[in-house]
Structure 1
Amino acid sequence: MNFANRTPEVTPSPKGKRQARKVLLVDDSRAQRNLIGVQLRRAGYAVTEAASGDEALALCDGLEPDFILSDWVMPGMSGLDLCRAFRARARKVYGYFVLLTSNAEEGDIARGLDAGADDFLTKPIAGQELLARLSAGERILRIEEELRASNDQLRRALDKLEETQAAIDRDLREARKLQQGLVRERAGRFGPLQLSLLLRPAGHIGGDLVGFFPINADRVGLYALDVSGHGVTAALLTAQLSVHLSGAADQNVALRAAQAGSDAVTPAALAHFFNNMMLEEMSTDSYFTMIYAELNHLTGRVQMVQAGHPHPMLQKPDGRVLKIGNGGMPVGVFDNPIFDEIEFTLEPGDRLLIASDGITEASSSAGPLLGEEGLEAIMRTNAFLSGHAFLESMAWSVSEYCRGERLDDMSAVLIEYLRPAETVKLPRH
């Protein structure tokens, strides 16, 4: 591993005092080594001497010098070759390399820098200049040590962050299972009416919720919710809302009146109940859009409230797609909201699609929103499919449209009024 991609620990010296910098002095002349070595030792450096480039290279493994002062011209391995070999070795810390030369021409300096030298000193070497050059090198080494120490701290912080992120991911995966469990049934059949549900969060967890529950012998309640925002906050609110819309009569707000002997709460009254609950009981800036409907599966009659949710799309047997509702206000924003109350009757062969804005507002990075026109096109294209096959094909089309970069949750409720089976007369032979 090269120095460039290693960040070792910086070892402080005892009692807070900096350890003496290690200098490897390389020169084939003993007299030159003695002359320079004396000056360095007096200045507080720990000096090791080598008489050749090969000897110096062998010492580098155990010594790991802070500075190398090497004569350029030596028998065998030159100072330039030593510099190249030193830079090619794996090191824990940076080493500051100074070439000693008798003739520092411009071409020599260029070659030395290309080989990895940090500085040059011209012989004969003045003691004051030598110490000044090493002092400049000291600043470089201190900066490098501080960077290594900062990198070590950053790496430890990143390691802890990765551990924390892994724990969060595990929790979110479990939360996803729990949230998917809020939708207890993904399909239901009530007389000629078939219900199918789609719930596809953009991340681990989301803020969409769909479901249905029987009200009495001839009616079923169905809902689609979309909480503002994403992630944990939205998921917690959907979990609380699911309690109020669960199949248990003692918890389901719509069924409490029916349990007392009177009729179930109307769709509009349910929307106002949730609006008051959001404003009076919850300390949150979140809100949600909703469609709640009562469906009479004996007559096909639908009573619906629309509270800011995208328009339901009614597809007729001939393929025409009609937009239902005028919009209404979201739940949890205004003290006296106006919700859209809708009544209509489904006929054999009709199908009603209630989709979240994660479908109609899907877009690619460079393209427009899918929009209601795009959803209509998907419905017409998939008119021959029904139930979950239709919903899965729709979800695939949306993902393809946004090229897999879906940023919002995707949910839908599909209500199909199945035609009665026809008797086919076989020809007589």
Structure 2
Amino acid sequence: MNLANRSPTPAASTSLARLVLLADGSAAHRRLMRVQLERAGYRVIEAADGDTALRLCREAAPDVILSDWLLGGCSGIDLCREHRDMPRTGYGFFILLTTRSETADITAGLQAGADDFLLKPISGAQLVARLNAAERVLDMQDTLSAANVKLQAALERLHEARRQIEHDLREARKLQNALIRERQRSFGPIRVSLLMRPAGLIGGDLVGFHQLDDRTVGIHAIDVSGHGVAAALMTARVATQIETLSLDRRMAPADLVAALNEAMLDGMQTDSYLTMIYAQLDIPTGQMRLVQAGHPYPLLQRADGTIERVGEGGLPVGVIAGARYDQLELTLRPGDRLLTVSDGITDATSWRGALLGEEGLTAILRLNAPLWGFALMESMCWSVSEFASGERQDDVSGVLIEYLTPAPVVPARPAAEPE
């Protein structure tokens, strides 16, 4: 409500009118000011002393307090201090009525919390002008309070939405983890170990294996572009398609990856793409047919410790229609192991901006030569984390395929002959 638009008669609605507390020891002065205030459209309550004024401040929470400097019970300055210390929902504009104009008195009033001063004797025009200023402050306060209420309500809705999203993501993570039925499994002399650590609750990496028949195992490592829910949904869809395509025992790995490429471009209607490794391993012979489609190069560590880079690079899946993928063959022998990781490892960056890369991964593999299985994977993750100062900006995943060396046969000691 703006006093500038008030009529000199009490035309304003009582329900909208500001409440003014008039605290003055002079009944005649209160009567005169009350008439002026009510003509300006205000509701008015009166107090003849400081104690009554304090009680009315607590009970009625007036919008404006007009208080004489000198009051019975407590001074106007004391009333102002007490009023400022009271808990209330809205702002109370405090005007001191005084005959004092010294700088020290004005300073004392401002320090007590007064907003304005009116020097006695007070004219009607002066009173209305000061109340106009008070109205502007109170209107701004009301606007800010209403905006704060709306903002708080919006924040509560956002917090609730965030809690729901986090709950859904935790459930989605359980479902994504369920796609990896086993983290480690042995197939005769071959052992396959899986590593998957998303950067967030869920991610776009997925690794897995599935037995195609009595002697063949299919192994895949997938890294979908992007992160979060969309990437996780894509990995689930791709994993299902890989298992479906691999049901055709006649389909070679290169044909399977090419078919997956066409399915992504034709059926999924998405801008996402993925890099992957897909391999089929013959358990009795250790022979492997492998396709690298844009994924980081697998590293083959032979039993004698030498390390070879495997793969031909290749196009990512879901980028170019009609893409063809090269297929290579290799043979694992006892003591050999093949490590495949996502670019969350090879693209790890030190605080100086250096990439770990293939060279760094090779060094980690050499350093951890005595370790096998999960112990090797955990040590590798620790080394990468140390290199990147604990920062992980991308999902991390890996597959470790090991051709286990048979345990040496220890001849039994002959029983000691009795003496």
> With structure 2 as the length reference, what TM-score do the two structures score?
0.90
Counterpart of 1:91 in structure 2 is 88
Assess, with a 3 A threshold, how the Cα gap between structure 1 residues 86 and 17 changes in structure 2: closer, same or farther: closer
1:254 is matched by which residue type in structure 2? S
- Tell me, yes or no, if structure 1 residue 269 matches structure 2 residue 255: yes
Of 385, 389, 397, the residue aligned with 1:411 is 397
Q: CA deviation at 1:315?
A: 2.0
1:355 is matched by which residue type in structure 2? V
| Cα RMSD (Å) | 2.3
Contact persistence 2:14–2:43 (CA under 8 A): no
Counterpart of 2:99 in structure 1 is 102
**SS at 1:170's partner residue?**
helix
What whole-Å deviation, never above 9, does each CA across 1:372-428 have from its counterpart, x for those lacking one? 233233323332221122223323333444454423221111001111222234677
- Tell me, yes or no, if structure 1 residue 330 matches structure 2 residue 322: no
Matches within 5 A, 1:345-356: 345-356=331-342
Of 160, 179, 184, the residue aligned with 1:182 is 179
What whole-Å deviation, never above 9, does each CA across 1:102-140 have from its counterpart, x for those lacking one? 122333333322222111111111210111111111111
Of 343, 359, 365, the residue aligned with 1:357 is 343
Counterpart of 1:253 in structure 2 is 245
- C-alpha separation in 1, matches of 2:99 and 2:352: 65
Counterpart of 1:282 in structure 2 is 268
Counterpart of 2:297 in structure 1 is 311
Assess, with a 3 A threshold, how the Cα gap between structure 1 residues 183 and 112 changes in structure 2: closer, same or farther: same
What whole-Å deviation, never above 9, does each CA across 1:54-91 have from its counterpart, x for those lacking one? 22111111100000111223344222222121111111
- Tell me, yes or no, if structure 1 residue 368 matches structure 2 residue 360: no
What number of residue pairs does the alignment pair up?
404
Matches within 5 A, 1:21-420: 21-246=18-243, 252-256=244-248, 258=249, 263=250, 265-337=251-323, 339-363=325-349, 367-420=353-406
Q: CA deviation at 1:176?
A: 1.2
Of 17-26 and 390-399, deviating more is 390-399
Assess, with a 3 A threshold, how the Cα gap between structure 1 residues 270 and 91 changes in structure 2: closer, same or farther: same
Percent identity between the two aligned chains: 55
Assess, with a 3 A threshold, how the Cα gap between structure 1 residues 18 and 311 changes in structure 2: closer, same or farther: farther
- C-alpha separation in 2, matches of 1:16 and 1:344: 91
**SS at 1:334's partner residue?**
coil
1:144 is matched by which residue type in structure 2? Q
- C-alpha separation in 1, matches of 2:344 and 2:252: 27
Counterpart of 1:7 in structure 2 is none
Assess, with a 3 A threshold, how the Cα gap between structure 1 residues 369 and 122 changes in structure 2: closer, same or farther: farther
2:33 is matched by which residue type in structure 1? I
Of 195-204 and 386-395, deviating more is 386-395
- C-alpha separation in 1, matches of 2:242 and 2:283: 19
Q: CA deviation at 1:349?
A: 1.3
- C-alpha separation in 2, matches of 1:17 and 1:335: 75
**SS at 1:129's partner residue?**
helix
- C-alpha separation in 2, matches of 1:287 and 1:187: 28
Assess, with a 3 A threshold, how the Cα gap between structure 1 residues 283 and 139 changes in structure 2: closer, same or farther: same
